[in-house]
Chains A and B, each alone.
Chain A
């Protein structure tokens, strides 16, 4: 059927770009959360949940400084 390869290529390229970018952002978010965790004085071996709560503690202070 005419156009099948082109249609598949269009979807694969478009979705590949979006999902690839999503993975890249997820990777950077992971790094940023780890740094926030270290900044708040936690050890690098603790769970993601603990790291997240450290970010929550660290963020308001930095947000007020930004203003």
Chain B
């Protein structure tokens, strides 16, 4: 990583955090309080972008799985690993913010509606992906199994998305927003996307460096696992 790249990476994180601070300000002071739901509606500005970025991270696991099975190159597996970790993180955020919203809006932390159930299944699927990764010792076998698993796990994403459209569900299918609300949602979308993409990129770099270290340790018989 040369000097220019270091500045670009630092600039990226400063931009991401600035976008987050700006979005938080918009949610707190600019977006009006919803007439029906009150202040709790503002959780939506974080909840929806986190859900969309979660779909994006799951999509990356899928693409990386296909890429690995096609080309058998280690970097696809590292990308799959990094994306799956961020998918678990984002789905945790989606579930937690949704539960808090639900406690105020519906009077309960949890209900087994199709959208909530498929979302919980999604979280479990990607947690299981990480458990599966950790349980397979052989590098090549782990990469193949995780690639196939990542492709199959992605099948839950359309189920989460379509559940409110195809089945009766307590979860709102869409919400009517005023213009300042759209602006705030756009700002949160940008901030969460920047943050999520940065996390995938940083975790991917960790995976690449750890892979290089493990190969060096195997070749030289020096050093422990990364």
Residues of A within 8 A of B (CB): 1-4, 6-7, 9-11, 13-15, 17-18, 21-22, 25-26, 28-29, 32-33, 35-36, 39, 48-49, 52-53, 55-56, 58-59, 62-63, 65-67
B18 smallest CB distance to A (angstroms):
14
Q: For the complex, is B136 an interface residue (Cβ under 8 Å from A)?
A: no
Q: For the complex, is B171 an interface residue (Cβ under 8 Å from A)?
A: no
Bound Cα distance A67, B215 (Å): 12
Q: For the complex, is B216 an interface residue (Cβ under 8 Å from A)?
A: yes
Bound Cα distance A48, B39 (Å): 45
Contact of B213 among A7, A22, A35 (CB under 8 A): A35
Q: Are A13 and B100 in contact (CB under 8 A)?
A: yes
Chain B residue, CB-CB nearest to A20:
B89
Q: Are B216 and A62 in contact (CB under 8 A)?
A: yes
Q: Give the total of B residues in contact with A, Cβ under 8 Å.
A: 50
Residues of A contacting B: mostly: helix
A52 smallest CB distance to B (angstroms):
4
Q: Are A52 and B103 in contact (CB under 8 A)?
A: no
- A-B CB proximity, top 7 nearest: A3-B40, A62-B212, A32-B209, A52-B1, A66-B74, A3-B39, A10-B100
Q: Given A62-B215, A63-B75: A7 and B1 within 8 A (CB)? A: no
Q: Are A63 and B212 in contact (CB under 8 A)?
A: yes
Q: Are A10 and B96 in contact (CB under 8 A)?
A: yes
Q: For the complex, is B170 an interface residue (Cβ under 8 Å from A)?
A: no
Interface string of B1-43 (1 = CB under 8 A from A): 1110110000000000000100010010000010001111111
Q: Given A13-B97, A25-B203: A52 and B6 within 8 A (CB)? A: yes
Q: Are A21 and B199 in contact (CB under 8 A)?
A: yes
Bound Cα distance A32, B202 (Å): 11
Q: Are B216 and A39 in contact (CB under 8 A)?
A: yes
